[in-house]
């Protein structure tokens, strides 16, 4: 069945990004249907985070178009994106280190706020009633994510897995329609990744998810559709089974001729990722 950009929540067409002489993305297309989980995979430096930055409006492509619900993208500031229903997490944690867990999550709850993110934290320029509602919403989200007991703690005093949940809670508190997750499994243990897989499938009951991830096992378990990038180009796209059986994907990951190998590594076979890697993340 063919789909048009109008049927999609988000679409990217012909996206090219150049950084000086380096072409980080070359004529990339992507479709995200409502309620679907789309995986974006590829070796280090393939252009995944760059595409994420374009999809989330942080980076303007050199050429190409992004369409949100069949129309133009909602604007470039995090506030515009949140109001439109788009949230993201970052390749690093990007939590505010001097704010408590609760304050970090309140800061993500600005989709319905009038005063913008700063006023959410300071309370300036908004009604006390709004502030109370946002706090209550953030507290409910912390409970939903099982991290309410850490509400008053600073993120840096908590284990990495809990901090990752805080970052997820902050992205989900405004009930986005599209959630962009950049390497949510990096730095997590096997059990935590199993929990995350269930969590992501749960998210997709309410929202679409685009997942950038090196943990192949997680990607293959949770994604409806996968796009594979290598050197900035889409080299394969399809269901997890189709992508896994595509010799071009195996070759990109293993750097060996396609006929020598049969499948993409599974079970964390290419699970090397660096949690400290920066996404150049503009908030
Ligand atoms: N702001 C920038 N200025 C110049 N080059 C950049 C910039 N951001 C990314 N690049 C380059 O663009 C290419 C794609 O980088 P990107 O971070 O998108 O890859 P990635 O697929 O997310 O990799 P990883 O898996 O390591 O996170 C790389 O060659 C990178 O060095
Ligand atoms: Mg990246």
Instruction: Give long-range contacts, CB 8 A cutoff, 24+ apart: 66-70.
Output: 66/10, 66/11, 66/12, 66/15, 67/5, 67/8, 67/10, 67/11, 67/12, 67/13, 68/9, 68/10, 69/8, 69/9, 70/5, 70/6, 70/8
Separation of 123 CA from ligand 2 center, angstroms? 34
Question: Percentage of the chain with pLDDT > 90?
Answer: 63
d(CA 225, CA 276): 27
Q: Enumerate residues 6+ apart whose C-beta is below 8 A from 57.
A: 66, 73, 74, 75, 76, 77, 80, 81, 86
Condensed to tens digits (0 to 9), the pLDDT of residues 192-229 reads 999 999 999 999 899 999 999 999 999 999 999 999 99
d(CA 203, CA 174): 13
Separation of 150 CA from ligand 2 center, angstroms? 29
Separation of 147 CA from ligand 1 center, angstroms? 32
pLDDT at 278: 39
CB within 6 Å of ligand 1 — which residues? 19, 22, 24, 42, 44-50, 91, 277, 280
Residue 75 three-state SS: coil
Return the ligand 1 atom nearest residue 212 CA. 22
Q: How far is CA 61 from CA 57, 78, 141, 172, in A?
A: 9, 17, 34, 26
Band (130; pLDDT cuts 50, 70, 90): confident
Band (98; pLDDT cuts 50, 70, 90): very high
> Strand 178-182 and strand 86-88: pairing?
parallel
How many Cα atoms are found within 13 Å in the side-chain-facing hemisphere of 91?
A: 21
pLDDT at 72: 84
The bound ligand whose nearest atom lies closest to the alpha carbon of 51 is: 1
The bound ligand whose nearest atom lies closest to the alpha carbon of 21 is: 1
The CATH classification number of 1-85+176-283 equals: 3.40.50.300
pLDDT at 204: 87
- Whole-model pTM? 0.84
pLDDT, average across residues 78-101: 88
Residue nearest (by alpha carbon) to ligand 1 atom 9: 50
pLDDT, average across residues 39-44: 94
Residue nearest (by alpha carbon) to ligand 1 atom 25: 44
Res 65 pLDDT > 80: yes
Q: What residue spans in the chain does CATH classification 3.40.50.300 cover?
A: 1-85+176-283
Angle made by CA atoms 211, 216, 221, in degrees to the nearest 5: 70
In this structure, how many other beta carbons lie within 10 angstroms of the beta carbon of residue 7? 14
> Strand 225-230 and strand 233-238: pairing?
antiparallel
Contact yes or no for 99/108 (Cβ under 8 A): no
Separation of 107 CA from ligand 1 center, angstroms? 28
d(CA 51, CA 234): 11
* Radius of gyration, alpha carbons of the chain: 19
Residue nearest (by alpha carbon) to ligand 1 atom 8: 50
pLDDT at 273: 33
pLDDT, average across residues 77-85: 79
Contact yes or no for 69/36 (Cβ under 8 A): no
Residue 125 three-state SS: coil
Mean pLDDT of all residues belonging to the chain: 84
For residue 243, what are the β-bridge partners?
Answer: none
Separation of 113 CA from ligand 1 center, angstroms? 33
């Amino acid at each position: 069945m063919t789909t048009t950009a109008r049927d999609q929540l988000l679409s990217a067409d012909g996206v090219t990004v150049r950084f000086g002489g380096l072409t980080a993305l070359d004529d990339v297309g992507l479709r995200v249907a409502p309620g679907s989980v789309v995986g974006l995979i590829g070796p280090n430096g393939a252009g995944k985070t760059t595409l994420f930055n374009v999809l989330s409006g942080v980076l303007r492509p050199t050429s190409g178009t992004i369409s949100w619900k069949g129309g133009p993208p909602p604007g470039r500031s995090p506030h515009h994106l949140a109001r439109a229903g788009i949230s993201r997490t970052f390749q690093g944690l990007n939590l505010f280190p001097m704010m408590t867990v609760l304050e970090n999550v309140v800061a993500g709850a600005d989709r319905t706020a009038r005063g913008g993110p700063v006023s959410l934290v300071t309370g300036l320029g908004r009604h006390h009633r709004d502030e109370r509602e946002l706090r209550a919403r953030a507290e409910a989200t912390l409970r939903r994510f099982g991290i309410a007991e850490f509400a008053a703690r600073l993120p840096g005093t908590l284990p990495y897995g809990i901090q990752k949940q805080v970052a997820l809670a902050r992205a989900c508190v405004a009930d986005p329609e599209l959630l962009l997750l950049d390497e949510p499994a990096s730095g997590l243990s096997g059990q935590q990744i199993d929990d995350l897989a269930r969590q992501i499938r749960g998210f997709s009951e309410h929202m679409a998810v685009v997942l950038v991830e090196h943990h192949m096992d997680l990607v293959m378990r949770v994604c409806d559709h996968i796009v594979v990038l290598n050197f900035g180009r889409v080299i394969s796209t399809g269901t997890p089974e189709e992508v896994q059986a595509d010799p071009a994907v195996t070759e990109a990951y293993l750097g060996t001729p396609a006929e020598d190998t049969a499948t993409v590594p599974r079970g964390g076979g290419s699970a090397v990722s660096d949690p400290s890697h920066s996404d150049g993340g503009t908030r």
